[in-house]
């Protein structure tokens, strides 16, 4: 089986599993809607005698739905690392990338060239860096210094303090996005809550992967650093996501004050 065939099969299995979870969620919501009239009293002190059996049936069905959902999640978590390992071992060039990532100094002028120069940039930066604009690695020594490996240049010019400041700013952005989402969920604006938290996860995970690649913690993936890396479409999409997040927060504040949106 080739890597392409395996990838196709894995994507098909992932799609089928996702569709199964959506069907299960739809059944769950339909069951709740059908028993909504009898269920609320079963969980309060005003419960009536005739509602005990209905509440027990609802609780049992909900437990079954939750167990099936947990099984689907466990299957996905088990399938993802297995599929990743199979894709790596089925292709020689992927194996070479993993080997180069694990020991970039074994071939510093070949497959480990980019990572070794990124680590040199981090080492030169030390605590406070060599000064803004004083990077040597960005002078055509470090490939993609303006996009994928911008964090290495920041580390060289601003040092550990600059890297820590960038990480703290991204963490603040993610925390703020989740707070906006939680506020929207409290106001029963579930779609807006999911959008806000999804934007936070997207930006946070992309930043984490980019920083991890620059530090040699993760293999090279080609992801840019949100809001900072050079580029046209990436900056536009990041700014659009930030605008949507600000809009969700704006609507939350107006609804909380009783104003129309």
Lowest mean pLDDT among 11-25, 35-49, 79-93: 35-49
Residue pLDDT, tens place only, 26-59? 666 666 666 555 544 444 444 444 455 555 555 5
For position 33, what pLDDT does the model report? Answer: 62
What average pLDDT does the segment 173-184 reach? 96
Per the CB < 8 A criterion, the answer to whether 87 and 7 are in contact is yes
Does residue 91 surpass a pLDDT of 80? no
- Which of 64, 53, 57 lies closest to 28 in space, CA to CA? 64
pLDDT of 46 reads 44
Cβ 42 vs Cβ 58: under 8 Å? yes
pLDDT at position 138, please? 93
Average pLDDT (222-246) is: 93
What is the model's pLDDT at position 69? 65
Longest distance between any two alpha carbons in the chain, whole Å:
79
Q: Once rounded to an integer, what is the mean pLDDT over residues 113-140?
A: 94
Percent of residues, the chain, with pLDDT higher than 70 = 73
pTM summary value: 0.72
The answer for residues whose C-beta is within 8 angstroms of residue 184's C-beta and 6 or more apart is: 190, 192, 193, 196, 248, 251, 252
Average pLDDT, the chain: 82
- The answer to whether the beta carbons of residues 231 and 144 sit under 8 Å apart is no
The answer for residues whose C-beta is within 8 angstroms of residue 47's C-beta and 6 or more apart is: 41, 55
Radius of gyration of the chain (CA): 25
Count other Cβ atoms within 10 Å, centred on residue 169: 13
Closest to 10 measured CA to CA, from 97, 90, 70: 90
Mean pLDDT of 172-196: 95
């Amino acid at each position: 089986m080739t890597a392409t065939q395996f990838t196709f099969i894995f994507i098909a299995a992932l799609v089928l599993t996702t569709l199964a979870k959506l069907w299960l969620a739809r059944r769950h919501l339909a069951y709740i809607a059908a028993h909504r009239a009898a269920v609320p009293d079963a969980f309060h002190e005003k419960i009536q005698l005739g509602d005990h059996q209905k509440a027990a049936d609802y609780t049992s069905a909900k437990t079954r739905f939750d167990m099936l959902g947990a099984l689907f999640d466990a299957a996905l978590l088990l399938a993802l690392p297995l599929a990743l390992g199979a894709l790596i071992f089925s292709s020689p060039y992927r194996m070479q990338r993993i080997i180069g990532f694990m020991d970039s100094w074994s071939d510093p002028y070949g497959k480990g060239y980019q990572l070794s120069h990124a680590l040199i940039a981090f080492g030169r930066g030390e605590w406070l860096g060599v000064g803004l604009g004083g990077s040597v690695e960005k002078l055509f020594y470090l490939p993609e210094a303006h996009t994928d490996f911008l964090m290495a240049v920041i580390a060289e010019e601003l040092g550990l303090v600059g890297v820590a400041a960038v990480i703290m700013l991204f963490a603040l952005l993610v925390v703020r996005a989740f707070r906006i989402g939680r506020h929207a969920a409290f106001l029963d604006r579930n779609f807006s809550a999911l959008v806000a938290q999804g934007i936070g996860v997207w930006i946070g995970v992309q930043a984490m992967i980019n920083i991890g690649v620059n530090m040699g913690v993760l293999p090279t993936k080609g992801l840019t650093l949100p809001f900072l890396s050079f580029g046209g479409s990436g900056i536009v999409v990041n700014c659009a996501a930030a605008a949507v997040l600000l809009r969700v927060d704006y609507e939350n504040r107006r609804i909380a004050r009783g104003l129309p949106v």
